[in-house]
Amino acid sequence: MNNISLFSGGGGLDLGLEAAGFKTLFATDIDPYSCATLQKGKIIAAQKGLHFLSDCIVHRENIIGLRGAFILDIVGRKKGEIELLAGGPPCQAFSVFGRRQGRSDPRGQLVYEYFRILNEIQPEAFLFENVYGLMTVERGEVFRQALEKLRRPGPGLKYEISVLRMDAVEFGVPQFRDRIFIIGSRNGKTAKKPESLTVAPDDLMKNGQYTYRTVKDAFRGLSRIGENCISNHTGRVHSSRIIRRYATMSPGQRDNFTRINKLDLKRPSFTIIVGSDKGGGKGHIHPTEAREVTPRESARIQTFPDWWVFTGTVRHPIRQIGNAVPPLLGFAVGNAVRQEIFGKKENSTTSAIELLSQGHLFD
């Protein structure tokens, strides 16, 4: 089943969808570093004998100038012949971290470009990802309008809509991350939220579920900084004043100056965040060392494979990581689309964990 990827970023959703059996034909983003990450990941995956992005054309362009006819022409398909269109327009305009400016924020207008390309391509189904705040900003008016545009993006075109609210921590991701996935299908079928893979420690265990994965699970087997050449595993240089402050903090405590939290080895991570457009991308504070986590440690929390290399310097990797859909979460929602919209047998979660190199989480 073919997929067209918009707002692809660092590739988290694409990795998850491919683990669920979709084949990404085209991925696009305005950010040159994200596109370089996708291209590099495609090459490394091929070297490892993995299929990720093997047939994908990576295209850098501002979506405002991108046309559905161009996408269809470059992938050799006609309108209506693509199975899935997937992507998450920038969410900062609807996030509590983005001051919830909604449509008054230029980033909030990019959702309308998604609607336009949806109409121009007319896939069998679509997947639209965003922060939960999209449902409540402007007292829900933005969400109601978005649903209506997704339901009827163009003349004579109608999609049956499903809205899934999913927290990544329930699907094996060692992080609390509340997101919504809006799924549309032209065949009239709907999708329901998949059964959780993990549950809170005090919940009744059933059907072989794991408890929530923790920061300790995420970091299992990861070398210390400087011990080997793993990519993106270089930390920030802190002043002695910041080091002293971080050293006195307790797990779970929030730093009043940097406004980030100290992680707890025994709990899932707080949501990985992006930082500002002017630079400030930060990770959280390491649970046992007086420093912020490295981009690689944040990528572990997001369930990216260690071999997936993020390009750019300083802020670029952490922005790609913080903006991403965790691959394991992408797999879970992709599996639901695969099974309930397209009527195909779901892919094994065990095989996805292996494909995405996440065995350390369930060791």
CA dihedral 269, 200, 127, 125 (to 10 degrees): 160
Query: CA separation (Å) from 335 to 29, 45, 47, 263?
Result: 24, 21, 26, 30
Q: E strands within the chain? A: 2-6, 23-29, 57-60, 84-87, 125-131, 160-167, 178-185, 198-199, 210-211
d(CA 71, CA 77): 9
Q: Is 115 left (phi over 0), alpha (psi -120 to 50) or beta?
A: alpha
- Is 56 catalytic? The answer is no
d(CA 220, CA 360): 6
Short-list 117, 164, 98, CA closest to 7: 117
Which of 35, 56, 91, 229 is an active site residue?
Answer: 91
The alpha carbons of the chain give a radius of gyration, in whole angstroms, of 20
d(CA 232, CA 65): 32
Q: Return the active site residues.
A: 91
